[in-house]
Structure 1
């Protein structure tokens, strides 16, 4: 399904980088309330810096404390340069880290490849806000498999964000890659199933589309409930996107 999450992370970052506007659109509000395009890029730089620090096991960022967004005082070009520097450094540091050893991450620990997948999820989600704002197209490849895997692995985040106890029942996820390949996760005989194209699944779990606006199907009552609370990041559930806010692709 995937090659190297570290090289794929760089490729995804480079492709999004090429779509980031450096003109007045930098200050445009994105679909995320209170987030300009510039703030989105600054956040990606901050999260990459956290990952770099985690791999080095140094500094407060290694414990998951992001720096204050600097897009307004840095300006477009310095912020983008900082993001380029930090994402390259994070990919190198995570790739060079001992792969079987957990690193400090968001108040806990995680393996280097898991942190890299989390960064891929951030690039996908915040990148979607950017492309929705500037109105430019975005082409996805099977590199999106890292985001799919992360969304499956973090299934229980949505339950906890809504104050719910995650079920012990395992789900079966059947996700169709952009290439047409089928990615399966979970027991083949599971009663609770989620079936979706990869891009739609990732739009749902990153809360960039309402469930009504993506082609994600559920079989089973619990799986259907999950579609309404899915999120691939920890912490409180945000407002997300409303039904009909974006037309189904």
Structure 2
């Protein structure tokens, strides 16, 4: 079982890292465009703040969450409209993001064991919700860092992102209108050189490792396999890089197709990036 308290500690650390990147920026830098088409740095932080807000609703008031879903004027623009609705001057936006993520962490910690929270097209346990929030915080942090020309050293918290990427294999196929495969896939990833022994909460179902060791998911005897750097796998499943720009190797037809449709986040298929790095 994943330790929710430790997982929330990792989520806070991931959020604090991004906070430290954007907090010193002068107001004009918040308007800098990011790799996501039409989104500035402010949009990236507003998106995280909005998603924390609706996740808090899901954890504390399911009826209010469902009301917000039904009230969306254009479901196809739900994410964009949500980010735009939370845009504000940098100081106010930062304060709202900080307060929202703190409130969400407290709400998830207080959720009774075994309870599933409503979400878009699914229901999630508090640990799954916290893992998803960490994944999004890291992924959008990558967008911000790229916009600023900053290279962030990968941490052992990527273990959570990689685990979620593996668990959502079937979702990636379904999101692209393809049947979920029944063939098992083995994932073997080289841990980042800067990673410690393991994150505060070890991802359930994976094997412990140290910096430069292998993080593994799936049955050891599976014929279909994905191997490569953990960072590259996380960039792929969050659709921050095209597979052609990553050092991932797929063995077997299911593994190969998966690298084309992998998607760790909920909702319809993402636009992804083309091989040149731009949003497609």
Q: TM-score, normalised by structure 2?
A: 0.81
Q: 2:258 aligns with which of 226, 239, 242?
A: 226
Q: How many residues align?
A: 246
Moved more, 201-210 or 100-109: 100-109
1:146 aligns with 2:150: no
1:12 aligns with 2:14: yes
Q: Is the CA contact (8 Å cut-off) linking 1:172 and 1:188 kept in structure 2?
A: yes
Equivalent position of 2:245 in the other structure: 213
CA distance in 2, matches of 1:91, 1:215: 35
Distance 1:184 1:31, change over 3 A: same
Distance 1:131 1:63, change over 3 A: farther
* Secondary structure class of the residue paired with 1:42: helix
Deviation at 1:151, TM superposition (A): 0.7
- Provide, for residues 142-193 of structure 1, a one-character-per-residue CA deviation record: whole Å limited to 9, x for no partner: 1111111111111122212221111111111112222223221111100111
* Secondary structure class of the residue paired with 1:194: strand
What runs of 5+ residues in structure 2 fail to find an aligned partner? 70-77, 193-210
- Provide, for residues 192-244 of structure 1, a one-character-per-residue CA deviation record: whole Å limited to 9, x for no partner: 11112221111000000000111111111220111111111233223311113
- Please identify runs of 4+ aligned residues in structure 1 that moved more than 4 A: 70-73
Once the two structures are superposed, the pairs formed by residues 140-219 of structure 1 within 5 Å of their partners are 140-178=154-192, 179-219=211-251
Q: CA RMSD in A?
A: 2.2
What runs of 5+ residues in structure 1 fail to find an aligned partner? none
* Secondary structure class of the residue paired with 2:241: coil
CA distance in 2, matches of 1:72, 1:9: 21
* Secondary structure class of the residue paired with 1:86: helix
Q: Is the CA contact (8 Å cut-off) linking 2:47 and 2:86 kept in structure 1?
A: no
Distance 1:245 1:107, change over 3 A: closer
Q: Is the CA contact (8 Å cut-off) linking 1:50 and 1:62 kept in structure 2?
A: no
Q: TM-score, normalised by structure 1?
A: 0.91
